[in-house]
Each structure stands twice: as structure tokens, then as C-alpha cells.
Chain A
Amino acid sequence: MIQLDLTRRLALVAALAVTAFPATAQEGEKPAESKEKSEESKDGEKKKEEVEHWFAIQNGDVYTGTGEVLRGATLLAKNGKIHSIGYDLYIPPDTKTVDAKGYRLYPGLVAISSQGLLGNSSGDFDDTIDPFNYRMVLGLATGITTTGAGSGAVKLKRFSVDGAVVNEKIFSSFSWSNSNPRGKGELHEKLVAAANFQREYREWQRKVKDDKTLVEPTKRGVDNTVLAVLQGEQTAKFVANDRDELLGIARLAQEFNFRPVIEGCQEGWTIADELGRAGVRAIVTPRDRRPKDERQALAGGASIENAAILHKAGVAIAITPATEGVDLGGLVGRDIMHLPLEPGFAVRGGLSERAALESITIVPARILGIAHRVGSLEVGKDCDVIITDGDVLHYKTFVQWAVVDGKVVYDKEKELFFAHIRPRPEAPAPKKVDAGETPPNPDAKPADAEKEGEKKEEGGDDAKKKGEGDEKKKDG
């Protein structure tokens, strides 16, 4: 019965929903209808299995990460996926809600890589993740809901060991270094061999239909990882900062038609156009410093404008801090707990704030091959949301709640680490109903008089409580 009722109301929602996301509501409606039919025909037990988990964040300013802002909107998630974003949405009964009035919603941040957030595990994260370790809490407090780990991507899914790994074996690492010319030559040879094989194989595929005696070209001598890169199954990752190295990689990419990811890319700003044309994607750290090679006449060294110039030239920019672990000594302020601060320095160098936000959300998600699930707040994507008390790039901003798969996994007030710093103001008490609204009852006059007396006292109490609260705050 409830199901039936719900579906009807959903249909209503579809009609009422703000047209910002018209497709959503319709999409949401159709499966519900078909489900209803199938459920009617089946037993009650089946119905129980298909429990729908609804989750809503209400009244917040939704920064979707795609450039749009919906002020005071509601984000509704069903079974961990974003169901709809908009105004006046119908919230089904039994929906878990968070009131984000005065707060902002951002897509959960994506750390292109990190260390320690998944516990002391390395590799095989399905089997080794520690979803209770404190670094995961700190990661979520930073706003990170997904991280590159090893050569895969894993969600910071607390309290569960299932379904945390979202992608595996994304990268294969290659070296292209001025100090190792032989290595360069070998890589080039491997690429040539793999490209030749690809060509021969395609030709054989085309001809074998007519002439079945043709022999399939042999894979002998072909490097499998290099082939996987050329076939687009894996992403080639280089670590390079030098101008010449970067140029070399860009030329390789153009010659063999693949899109490399270059970590570092410090002198990239000097050859941004070449990198952009080659479809390079860069992982940069704006606060990195590199002196100019004085033997070179050309421009060189690190520049705070690096990210901005690269972005302008069409290079996709992902930003990562100097160290990728939770570092409570040494490089404090430049560890993974300061991921959202790092793009701020790129903004200082001229990057737009939108690109800065994208550099820690959708761009790393694309590089990790998981942009269809995370990286922005869009209908159908995973409900990985952070709720902040200000601009996510601002140094003063705290993550108040972090949500992964439609479940609150971090609440600043409930965790040990930052609850004492600028605690969330308590939700204001509901306003007292004006005495004038209740019709005067002459019979109950004495009682009213008493009540008024009480009210005055209560008021006094309130005042006292407020005073106490203020004192407490000062103490804190």
C-alpha cells in the first residue's frame, strides 16, 4: 500500500519538480512504475528485499561542480545514487534528512592519490581496507570521499568493506627521463612494436573474413602494458618536470595517439600549447618550487601560474598537495589534509575558481576513470557529497558532514578531531506561538494569568541559559 502511495506521489513530484532537471524526475518515475507492477504480482517477501533507502540534504546551496549553483535547494538520493536535485521535491516518508540551511553542498573531493587513508593496507583494497582507521576520518574531514590508491580508485566508505573499490588497474607507469636515454629508446621501440602489431591485427581482422587461411599476427615481442595503453585499456603515467622531457612525452603521445598523465609538470607552463595539443593531462602541485636551469636561455623553473597557463592551453589539471599522506609533522599544511587549500594557490596564479574546484573533483575523477560515478553532483551519480560552512577552497572552511553513497560517514560534531573548533550553532529553538493567536477564553482567565506568569519566568530562564551558553563558547 505504501509503495503504491509513494509511486503516485512520485509521479506528482515529477510534475512539480523544477525543470532544472526535468529528465531526472521522469527517469525516476518509470522504474518505480514498472517495479510496482512486478511487486504486485509477487509475494510480500520480495517487497521487503527491495527496500528503498532515501536520503535528503535540504535547504543548502548546491554547488554541483559543473558550474551551476542552486541556492537553498534539496538533494535527494535513493539507494546511494542522486535521485534529484531541485526545489519543492517530494521527500518520501522514512527519508533520512540533513538540514544544510546556511551551508554549501559540494561534490565529494577526489584525491588523485593518497596514502594511509585506507588503513595500513597496500593493494587488494577489497581485502585489506580498514574502514575504521582514524586517517579515513581525517580524509573525510578534509572533504575527500574518493581517492586514487595504488593503481586503482577507492571510496572512503566507512563501516563497510564492500563496494569501496570503484576502479582497478588504471595506470601503468613509464619513465621518460633525460638521464636515461636508453630507457627512452626502449620505450619508443616498444611503442613502435605495439603500434605495428595493432596495425597488422586490424588488417588481418579485415581480411580474414574473405580469406580464412590467413594466420593471426603473433603478439611475440609486443609489450602487453604498452599495448594496453595504445588500446586505451590503461593510462600511461609519467613523472616528469623538465621542459625537454615534457616535450618528449607530448611528441610520443601525438605519434602513437594516446593521452598520457604527467605528474609534476613543473615547467609545463613554458610549453603549454604543445602539451594541450597532445591531450596531456597533468597532476600539478602549485606550491612546488623548481629553480630555473641557468644554462638554458629559454624560460624555465616553477611558476605559480603553471596551472592557470596549462588550463588555458587545454591541459586537464588535477591538483595534489606536496605529500600524499596524513602528515602531522614535517610538511604540515602541505599534506593530504590540505587538499582543498592547494588549488587556492593555483587561483592566486590565475586559475579560475571553477577550474580550481574541478581540479580536485571531476578532473581527477576522469583521470581515474570514474567520472561516471563521482566528481560532480549530477542525477544518477553516486551520492558523495560534502557539506561545508563556506567556500571549499577557503582556509577557514570546515567540512561539517561528509556523505558517501547516501550515508553520512562524517559529522564534525561527532568526531574527535575538529568538534571543538567553531562548533556548529545549535538549531534555533522553535518560536513560541504568539499568545494573541489563541482565542481568548473568559472562563480560563485565572489559568491564563498563571501561564503568563510562568512564561515570564521561562523567559528569564532562557536569558540565563543564553548567558551560560555564551560563557561556554568563550571557554571553548
Chain B
Amino acid sequence: MLRSHSILFGALGALTALAGESLAASTSLAGGPLAIRVGRAETVAKGVIEHAVILVEDGKIVTIGEDLPVERGITVIDRPNWTVMPGLVSSYTRIGMDSEGGDDMSPDVKASTEIFPKSRDLRKVVEYGVTTLGIYPAGNGIPGLAAAIRPRGDTVEEMVLKDPAYLKIVMRSDSASKKRVRDAFAKADEYDEKVKKAREKWDKDKDSKKGKKEEKKEEKPEEKKPGMAGVEGQGPGPDAAEEPKADAKAEKAADGFVPPIPDDKVRAFVEMRAKKLRALVTLTSAADWLHWLDAIGKETIGFDVRLVLNQESDYFYVLDKKTYDLEADGIGDRKIHAVVEPLLTYTPNTRRVRNLPMELAKAGAKVCFTPRFDDLVNYKAWLGHVAELVGAGMTRDVALRALTLNPAEMLGVADRVGSLEKGKDANFVFLDGDPFQPATRIQAVMLDGRFVFGEVDP
């Protein structure tokens, strides 16, 4: 009820009433509004705020600003030496999962079905500052659908933020990978054809029914005909004339036509074409990128890439179209998300170090970091690994964004997490210094307005 207030004082006015009620229980930090005053806030979306005050209630950020006055009665946590940043978002992980996948085509498998809420690993990553995870299904080929989750909750439903978040596709430079993708879209074509036929049949049935009705009302059919002609481009819809059409899809539902349910293996691809779902394509070399573009041909689906980095990675050939005079777009040209490990690599066959994540960002790709390996040790060292890249020339802003807002966007949950902005979930990491300084330690972590790590007394 407080979220709609735009001015702090307005909000506070209302808050005092609440605060009075919950004053007795406020020391437990549960429920009621809470103000956090820190030395510095990395908002990611809107730069740095010095002497920041964040007001949290109901697990959301009510407001954030510099040196905001806090009304009496509101619990205040005052840590002038701390820096706060948004909770880390790990968009490509299987931490806490243990199943193994095959090498086949199973775009209907959902990673969310294998989440075990009591997993020790999930509890542990929270301590390392991770408050949002993108869990993907295991396997090669097209293993299935990933889900965006928060790492705390008693049930899976409680944990899930968005499901599905993306379809994982593994692209290798081989005929099987291309065939898999092409076949999938061919099946989606078949489904489209099926829908079209069902639609025609449905229209016929309806027309014949209407014919009987129209004997009573004679004026209407003439009005309808031009309407029919007008809608033909979007698919025949005789009812369009009766109601003003908003768009083709809404109309489908409105006129009562129920399209046939797509086969499990096809649904993901139908949804991708309808721009309801994005793909995350795993690539292991620059050649894979060209082969992927070749495989999808003229499909205009939305996709992001997971670039597996190793010491000899050669993605620098396909960062943009210009440098090597490519015939196809580069990764940066597409302005897509690129999930990479924070790893410095070599120019192949040399010992010349490259900062590929930095090069990707410069070329226009939206870098998202994933830990070097998907285990607790690397989650613990995550910020430190990113700091190595910052030391090697990547700008802090890009690095911070690649840990928070970019992966949140990729998962489709940027409206809730990924930056310190009014209305977003209160997911914070509190540090005792700059996130990219080696001596800095995580002091506390807040997830949905609750401290889930660190002993914090007001």
C-alpha cells in the first residue's frame, strides 16, 4: 500500500502509523519499515549515491536517496562504512542441482522441476551475495527451459520468479546441432499450418451457424464483409467487424477460437516465434556463432548467447562485423546478452592476454558474468575474479552491471531485481568497501527485505 507514494515524506507520514504498531517487534527486523543508512550505494541503474538511505518495506525498496531524513520510530540501520550494491544475479547456473542430461532434443523439460528448496548449496550461495539464480536444465542438444529463482523458500512455487526464463540451446559446429534447430522450426511451421486449418474450419462452422442467425437479422452481413477483407492479412476473422480489433492475438481469444495445443516438443519454438520466449545459445568458438546464424537463417527469434571461455577462445573474430569484414553480424552488432566467465584469455597460439568480456562489452554486447566454475568455491571468489578483469581494463560500471542488471534483464526479471531502484525487491549485498577491492568482505546480505546473512543489529 505504500509503494505508490512518490515522495519520501508522504511515505513516511503513512509509515509512522504503521511503525507505531510494530515498534515493539521492530528489533527483530521482521515486518514494518526499515531504513538503511550506508556510506555508499552502487545503484547500477542510476550511478553511485553517497551517504545513501534506503527505505525498505514489505520486501521492496520504498525509496532510495542521498541523506534522506528518517522519521522517528522507523528502525534505522546505520553503517557509514558500508557499501551497498544490488544482490548478485547468476543467470546461468546449476548450483544445487545434481541430475544429468542427455544429448537430445527435449525443449519441454523444465529445470524448475528439479529444484530442491532445502539444498545446502542454495543456502550457501546467498552468503556470497547471490540473491537471484537462473537455473538451466542439464544436457546437450536442446535440453529445455531455464527458470529464474530466488534461493530461499520452503516450496518451489515460493522460490520461482519466472518460469520459463529462457530455452537453452547448445550449438556446436556439427551437422546434428544445425539439423536439430532447423527441424524444430520446421515442426513449428507444421504447427502453424495446423492452426491455420483449424481456424479455417472453425470459421466455416461459425459462418454456417451465423447463416442461420442472419436470417433473422438481415442488415448485418453486408457490414461484416468489408471487415473480413480488412482482417485477412492477419488471418481470417469474421468477427472482427463486430468488435473493434485491438490486435490479432487478442482477437483470437476474444472471438472464442481456441488454437490447437502445440506438441510439447514444439511449444517452446512456437513461443519463441511469438517473442514470448528467448533462447540462450551455448557457443564454444567463433565458428559456432556463424553456424548458429546460418542455422536459424531468417528466423527472427530473440536470443542471447552463452560464450564458453577457455584460454584459447577466439570470439574476438566475431565481435563486430567490421573488424574482420564478416558477411554476417557480429555478436556486439546484435546488442544481445553474452554470458561469460570472468576470465582473462590468450590470443590463440600466443601468450598475449586478452580481456574478451571487456571487448564484448565494447562491441555492444551486454555482458553477464557467471562464476568460472559452477561450484561454491568459485561463487565465493566471484567478485574477486571479476575484479581481475576490472584490473585489466574493464570499467567498474560495466562489471557491476554484468553481475546484476544485465543478467536480470536476460532472465526477464529486471522489473524486480538487478538494481537499487524504487519498487524493486530489497535484495542487497553489504560490503565493507569497494566491491572490487581484494580486502573487501561481504558483511551482510538482504533478500526480499530480510537479512539472510550477517549479524545486523540496529
Q: Which of A36-93 contact B (CB under 8 A)?
A: none
Inter-subunit contact B324/A161 (CB<8 Å): no
Interface residue B287 (Cβ < 8 Å from any Cβ of A): yes
Collect the chain B residues with CB atoms within 8 Å of residue A124's CB.
174-175
Inter-subunit contact A130/B175 (CB<8 Å): no
Interface residue A294 (Cβ < 8 Å from any Cβ of B): no
A159 to B326, CA, bound (A): 6
When C-beta atoms are compared, the residue in chain A nearest to B315 turns out to be A132
Q: Which of B162-177 contact A (CB under 8 A)?
A: 173-175, 177
Collect the chain B residues with CB atoms within 8 Å of residue A119's CB.
173, 287
Cβ-neighbour of B291 out of A158, A159, A161, A416 (below 8 A): A161
A159 and B324 in contact (CB under 8 A), knowing A127-B178, A128-B174, A132-B314? Answer: yes
Inter-subunit contact A162/B294 (CB<8 Å): yes
CB distance from B116 to the nearest CB of A (A): 38
A161 and B349 in contact (CB under 8 A), knowing A119-B173, A127-B173, A407-B325? Answer: no
Inter-subunit contact B173/A130 (CB<8 Å): yes
Interface residue A345 (Cβ < 8 Å from any Cβ of B): no
Interface residue B286 (Cβ < 8 Å from any Cβ of A): yes
Inter-subunit contact A132/B285 (CB<8 Å): yes
A134 and B348 in contact (CB under 8 A), knowing A127-B174, A127-B175, A127-B291? Answer: yes
A160 and B326 in contact (CB under 8 A), knowing A131-B290, A132-B286, A132-B314? Answer: yes
A159 and B325 in contact (CB under 8 A), knowing A119-B287, A129-B287? Answer: yes
Cβ-neighbour of A132 out of B177, B317, B350 (below 8 A): B317
Interface residue A175 (Cβ < 8 Å from any Cβ of B): no
When C-beta atoms are compared, the residue in chain A nearest to B293 turns out to be A161
A427 to B451, CA, bound (A): 68
When C-beta atoms are compared, the residue in chain A nearest to B295 turns out to be A127
Interface residue B299 (Cβ < 8 Å from any Cβ of A): no
Inter-subunit contact B349/A159 (CB<8 Å): no
Interface residue A257 (Cβ < 8 Å from any Cβ of B): no
When C-beta atoms are compared, the residue in chain A nearest to B349 turns out to be A134
Collect the chain B residues with CB atoms within 8 Å of residue A131's CB.
287, 290
Inter-subunit contact A132/B175 (CB<8 Å): no
Interface residue B219 (Cβ < 8 Å from any Cβ of A): no
Collect the chain A residues with CB atoms within 8 Å of residue B328's CB.
160
A161 and B287 in contact (CB under 8 A), knowing A128-B173, A128-B175, A407-B325? Answer: yes
Interface residue B247 (Cβ < 8 Å from any Cβ of A): no
A132 to B326, CA, bound (A): 11
Q: Chain B contact residues: over half helix, strand or loop, or mixed? A: loop
CB distance from A140 to the nearest CB of B (A): 14
When C-beta atoms are compared, the residue in chain B nearest to A408 turns out to be B325
Collect the chain A residues with CB atoms within 8 Å of residue B327's CB.
159-160, 162
Inter-subunit contact B294/A161 (CB<8 Å): yes
A158 to B325, CA, bound (A): 10
Q: Which of A241-272 contact B (CB under 8 A)?
A: none
A160 and B350 in contact (CB under 8 A), knowing A127-B175, A128-B174, A407-B325? Answer: no
Work out how many contacts link A and B, with CB atoms closer than 8 A.
Answer: 52
When C-beta atoms are compared, the residue in chain A nearest to B324 turns out to be A159
Chain A residue total in the interface (Cβ 8 A): 18
Q: Which of B343-370 contact A (CB under 8 A)?
A: 347-350
Collect the chain B residues with CB atoms within 8 Å of residue A161's CB.
287, 290-291, 294
CB distance from A409 to the nearest CB of B (A): 9
Collect the chain B residues with CB atoms within 8 Å of residue A416's CB.
347, 349-350
A416 to B175, CA, bound (A): 31
Map CB proximity to A onto B316-328 as digits: 1 under 8 Å, 0 otherwise. Answer: 0110000011111
When C-beta atoms are compared, the residue in chain A nearest to B294 turns out to be A161
A161 to B291, CA, bound (A): 7
Interface residue A121 (Cβ < 8 Å from any Cβ of B): yes
When C-beta atoms are compared, the residue in chain B nearest to A130 turns out to be B287
CB distance from A378 to the nearest CB of B (A): 25
A129 to B288, CA, bound (A): 9
A132 and B178 in contact (CB under 8 A), knowing A159-B324, A159-B326? Answer: no
A84 to B287, CA, bound (A): 34
A132 and B287 in contact (CB under 8 A), knowing A127-B174, A160-B326? Answer: yes
Query: Which has the most chain B C-beta neighbours within 10 Å: A132, A133, A158, A160?
Result: A132
When C-beta atoms are compared, the residue in chain B nearest to A137 turns out to be B349
Query: Which has the most chain A C-beta neighbours within 10 Å: B286, B287, B294?
Result: B287
A416 to B347, CA, bound (A): 10
CB distance from A127 to the nearest CB of B (A): 4
When C-beta atoms are compared, the residue in chain A nearest to B348 turns out to be A134
CB distance from B336 to the nearest CB of A (A): 19
A407 to B175, CA, bound (A): 27
A158 to B287, CA, bound (A): 10
CB distance from A296 to the nearest CB of B (A): 48
Collect the chain A residues with CB atoms within 8 Å of residue B350's CB.
416
Map CB proximity to B onto A440-465 as digits: 1 under 8 Å, 0 otherwise. Answer: 00000000000000000000000000
Query: Which has the most chain B C-beta neighbours within 10 Å: A124, A161, A162?
Result: A161
A416 to B327, CA, bound (A): 24
A134 to B350, CA, bound (A): 11
B interface list, Cβ under 8 A from A: 173-175, 177-178, 285-287, 290-291, 294, 314, 317-318, 324-328, 347-350
- In the A-B complex, the 8 residue pairs with the smallest Cβ-Cβ separation, listed nearest first, are A130-B287, A127-B175, A124-B175, A161-B290, A132-B286, A132-B317, A159-B324, A132-B314
* 15 extra A-B contacts, CB within 8 A, seeds A129-B287, A131-B290: A127-B173, A127-B175, A127-B177, A128-B291, A131-B287, A132-B285, A132-B286, A133-B287, A159-B326, A159-B327, A160-B326, A160-B327, A161-B287, A161-B290, A416-B350
9 examples of A-B residue contacts, CB within 8 angstroms? A121-B174, A127-B178, A129-B173, A130-B285, A131-B290, A132-B314, A159-B317, A160-B290, A161-B294
